[in-house]
Amino acid sequence: MSDRLLIVTGDDFGAAREVNEGIVAAHRRGILTSASLMVTGEAVDEAVRLARGNPDLAVGLHLVLVQGRPAAPAAEIPLLVRPDGLFRDQPIPTGLRHAATWLRRDGRVQLAREIAAQFDAFERTGLSLSHVDGHCNMHMHPMVLPLVLEQAVRRGVRGVRLTRDPLLAALRLDPLHALRKVGEGVVFGVLGRWAAPRLGAAGIVTTDRVLGMHQTGRLSEAHLLAMVRHLAPGTTEIYCHPATATAPVLAPYQRGYRGPDEIAALTSAKVRAAIEAGGIRLGRYADLSGAE
């Protein structure tokens, strides 16, 4: 058996038709093995239909606590949403606000209410829940992750994305936007070290590493080839954002994203050949227990 297992996940499934089309194309014609579903996305019903029509596509929950709509009634979670009932747009200020909210007993109740509501919404799709991750990696927030784990354990979910993209390797791959990448590397390095033992104690499986955060929305064929050719032994998840075009609903948050380029990379014959030449096994979170 190969000593390298690779999970390739498309995020924002259900956010828009363009995203759904990109994920399905990358799955049917390429190396994408799983997708993470926004249960309150504008095109979630279509995404669920597509998932049912592609049973080899593993589908997880893409928890949304920023840049989107809540699953719980806004009146029940007023500390989490704006006056218009939507989550706020900026990840860092929103994360700080969630931390302040958690300090209040009613705030903790509201966070727990919304997280449970999103798990409930996924359950109503009838799909098997492969894994959990978060939009803008908000599931790694110290006030959010314990609530996610509580739901995951209660519902028998075994896989959670442990976001910790190796910084130096990412900078060698592409030195552009170095300051942003260093900031991400420091923050998620700390969060990863904090989260790993808690995930392990809860019986949750994770990959040895996660790639894609530093290249989010801009994963080219060259980037993907480099990742595959230098893939370390063990288990790896690469997450990405394929789309046939930038959806209007996502455009304010995804400036510079190149969804069609990501589809081209994920369906590249060169990438497929590199995976086969390297003896890399494509898989899903369900395969992690047998990856060694």
4-290 CATH pick, 3.90.1200.10, 3.30.465.10, 3.30.450.20, 3.20.20.370: 3.20.20.370
What residues does each domain of the chain span? Answer: 4-290
Give percent of the chain with pLDDT exceeding 70. 97
Q: Which of 155, 162, 159 is CA-nearest to residue 131?
A: 159
In this prediction, residue 291 carries a pLDDT of: 44
Q: Which of 240, 292, 287 is CA-nearest to residue 4?
A: 292
**Are the C-beta atoms of residues 203 and 245 closer than 8 Å to each other?**
no
* Residue carrying structure tokens 């390298």: 4
Q: Which of 135, 110, 80 is CA-nearest to residue 249?
A: 135
C-alpha span between 240 and 243 (Å, rounded): 10
* 200-215 residue pLDDT tens: 999 999 999 999 987 8
> Which residues lie closer than 8 Å to 81 by C-beta, 6 or more apart?
70, 74, 87, 88
* 110-145 residue pLDDT tens: 999 999 999 999 999 999 999 999 999 999 999 999
Which of 121-130, 164-173, 178-187, 213-222 comes out lowest in average pLDDT? 164-173
pLDDT band at 27 (very low <50, low <70, confident <90, very high): very high
Task: Give the Cβ contact number of residue 289 at 10 Å.
Answer: 10
How far are the Cα atoms of 77, 100, 116, 205 from residue 106, in angstroms, in the given order?
9, 11, 15, 31
**Are the C-beta atoms of residues 59 and 13 closer than 8 Å to each other?**
yes
Q: In the predicted model, what is the mean pLDDT of residues 263-277?
A: 98
**Are the C-beta atoms of residues 40 and 63 closer than 8 Å to each other?**
no
